[in-house]
Chains A and B, each alone.
Chain A
């Protein structure tokens, strides 16, 4: 009986610890939902801000964040997956590839504000994109790349070598094996990495601070070289820079950002389970 008692105590303890980890997250989400739900209305989601952002909606910020995430995805996904395929499937172990890997790991550790400053120098000033969606997307993509590359490389390496051998033994070329056998099996892992990276890009403030974000711009961007408002920066502005801001609007904005992130996450989970079901062995 004693062993079972010990097991139960252990399980209860572990359950408690898990709760301690999860509780703050639930609390944060709960507070935001309770306080922000009242602000949500059709107008809040689809109207331009008015009266120095103290009234009206946050439409341009929502559109801005969606556009920036899309721009980031367009640049970071092909580059990231391409780089991962090279590193996992083609590159031999040399000092050069080791240096690349080291660089990628270090890139992931750079503070986001440094990316912002680099983006300002590289894309806004040197490349003369100006403060624009293009400059912001490129900066965010740069920050996202290491996440996508590391996750994709790991997912590719997790596919057993034997599959590549079988492909070769059936007369498939190296690339055919990657395309037909390896990539489909690595896809769930790659998608997870992509979504994690994009989630981070969608929620970051510092990289867009100097490269794209507008303080107050009550219209939609007209071209990729236009500035735009964006949710994280807007949240920062209305929380710290505008005196007398109604609290409800701040929570409402946070709730919208949170919902966007959760929606993106849900998409990833659905795509992943779809591919898991289709590709099993």
Chain B
């Protein structure tokens, strides 16, 4: 067994006094795709946003437990949050290009981190767009507004934007929920490719997608982790009755 990339230890989380996560513990292996799935309101997104501390932006929250990245507690005092978020990138359900050109979008993160060398930035742009399977479509219009792209292209641009920082972990929250099947296929292919270099946690937008991409899968229900298994058996031979009901379509 390799050293886990991320170790979540007894995480409980409450927002405005209402518990959203109850005592979650799980380990994420490096260079794998881990799927968080389950019905809405189960706490998947909340847990995802705890891993790069995006929940810091929300007020009135209470967190217990620890999250370790490479053995380091990311909530320990003195942790540089910007540095953490460069290591743990995130892609959201709705692609939201920043105002400006494609190029400006891709290099936004590196620039904020202090990269000024133009040649470096050009390299980063090509590498990230290639990894996100978008380079061939946009290489001739890098200086046009990002808003002119189609929805599927915008989402791959957002993935490229995260990859530009060369993160170690990539969190994706229903990245294909607004996309057509062809774009979805391209994004999933890009993720399989990206897995070689990154550790990926994804909230899929359907059970079919979960089953397609999962190396590990975790089923969340009402703030609890019900079942966490290696491979795809969770979708064919679930152990817990509640998981079975969900994957066979009895609810959700």
Which residues of chain B are near A173, meaning CB under 8 Å? 82, 112
Q: Tell whether A166 is near chain B: CB-to-CB under 8 Å.
A: yes
Which residues of chain A are near B225, meaning CB under 8 Å? none
Q: Tell whether A97 is near chain B: CB-to-CB under 8 Å.
A: no
Q: Tell whether A281 is near chain B: CB-to-CB under 8 Å.
A: yes
Which residues of chain B are near A166, meaning CB under 8 Å? 92, 96, 98
Q: Tell whether B175 is near chain A: CB-to-CB under 8 Å.
A: no
Assembly CA distance A170 to B52 (angstroms): 10
- How close is B49's CB to chain A, nearest CB, in angstroms? 9
- How close is B87's CB to chain A, nearest CB, in angstroms? 9
Which residues of chain A are near B97, meaning CB under 8 Å? 281
Q: Tell whether A127 is near chain B: CB-to-CB under 8 Å.
A: no
Q: Tell whether A168 is near chain B: CB-to-CB under 8 Å.
A: yes
Assembly CA distance A163 to B82 (angstroms): 16
Which residues of chain B are near A2, meaning CB under 8 Å? none
From known contacts A165-B54, A166-B92, A180-B108, infer whether A171 and B82 are also in contact, taking CB-CB under 8 Å: yes
Assembly CA distance A165 to B90 (angstroms): 10
Give chain A interface residues in 253-275, CB to chain B under 8 Å.
none
Q: From A170, A279, A280, give the contact of B112 (CB < 8 A).
A: A170
Residue of B nearest to A159 (CB): B99
- How close is B175's CB to chain A, nearest CB, in angstroms? 13
- How close is B107's CB to chain A, nearest CB, in angstroms? 10
Give chain A interface residues in 55-114, CB to chain B under 8 Å.
92
Which of A162, A171, A176 counts the most B-chain CB atoms under 10 A from its CB? A171
Asked whether B54 lies within 8 Å of A181 as measured between CB atoms, the reply is no
Q: Tell whether A185 is near chain B: CB-to-CB under 8 Å.
A: yes
Residue of B nearest to A170 (CB): B109
Q: From B54, B59, B145, give the contact of A169 (CB < 8 A).
A: B54
Bin the interface of chain B by size.
20 to 34
Q: Tell whether B40 is near chain A: CB-to-CB under 8 Å.
A: no
Assembly CA distance A163 to B56 (angstroms): 15
Q: Tell whether B103 is near chain A: CB-to-CB under 8 Å.
A: no
Which residues of chain B are near A167, meaning CB under 8 Å? 98, 108, 112
- How close is A172's CB to chain B, nearest CB, in angstroms? 4
Which residues of chain B are near A165, meaning CB under 8 Å? 54, 57, 92
Asked whether B89 lies within 8 Å of A169 as measured between CB atoms, the reply is yes
From known contacts A169-B85, A169-B90, infer whether A281 and B162 are also in contact, taking CB-CB under 8 Å: no
Assembly CA distance A166 to B157 (angstroms): 13
Residue of A nearest to B94 (CB): A162
Q: Tell whether B146 is near chain A: CB-to-CB under 8 Å.
A: yes
Asked whether A164 lies within 8 Å of B57 as measured between CB atoms, the reply is yes
Asked whether B82 lies within 8 Å of A181 as measured between CB atoms, the reply is no
Asked whether B98 lies within 8 Å of A181 as measured between CB atoms, the reply is yes
Asked whether B147 lies within 8 Å of A172 as measured between CB atoms, the reply is no
Which residues of chain A are near B145, meaning CB under 8 Å? 280-281
Which residues of chain A are near B98, meaning CB under 8 Å? 163, 166-167, 180-181, 281
Q: Tell whether A184 is near chain B: CB-to-CB under 8 Å.
A: yes
Give chain B interface residues in 32-68, CB to chain A under 8 Å.
52, 54, 56-57, 59
Which of A163, A168, A173, A184 counts the most B-chain CB atoms under 10 A from its CB? A168
- How close is A176's CB to chain B, nearest CB, in angstroms? 5
From known contacts A164-B57, A165-B57, infer whether A172 and B99 are also in contact, taking CB-CB under 8 Å: no
Give chain A interface residues in 158-214, CB to chain B under 8 Å.
162-173, 176, 180-181, 184-185
Q: Tell whether B113 is near chain A: CB-to-CB under 8 Å.
A: yes
Asked whether B112 lies within 8 Å of A168 as measured between CB atoms, the reply is no
Asked whether A169 lies within 8 Å of B147 as measured between CB atoms, the reply is no
Assembly CA distance A169 to B112 (angstroms): 12
From known contacts A171-B165, A281-B147, infer whether A162 and B96 are also in contact, taking CB-CB under 8 Å: yes
- How close is A209's CB to chain B, nearest CB, in angstroms? 45
Residue of B nearest to A169 (CB): B90
Q: From A92, A168, A181, give the contact of B57 (CB < 8 A).
A: A168
Which residues of chain A are near B94, meaning CB under 8 Å? 162
Q: Tell whether B161 is near chain A: CB-to-CB under 8 Å.
A: yes
Which residues of chain A are near B162, meaning CB under 8 Å? 169-170
Q: B: which residues have CB within 8 A of A?
A: 52, 54, 56-57, 59, 82-83, 85-86, 89-90, 92, 94, 96-100, 108-109, 112-113, 145-147, 161-162, 165
Q: A: which residues have CB within 8 A of B?
A: 92, 162-173, 176, 180-181, 184-185, 279-281
Given contacts A170-B162, A171-B113, 6 further A-B contacts (CB under 8 A): A162-B92, A164-B57, A165-B57, A172-B82, A181-B98, A280-B99
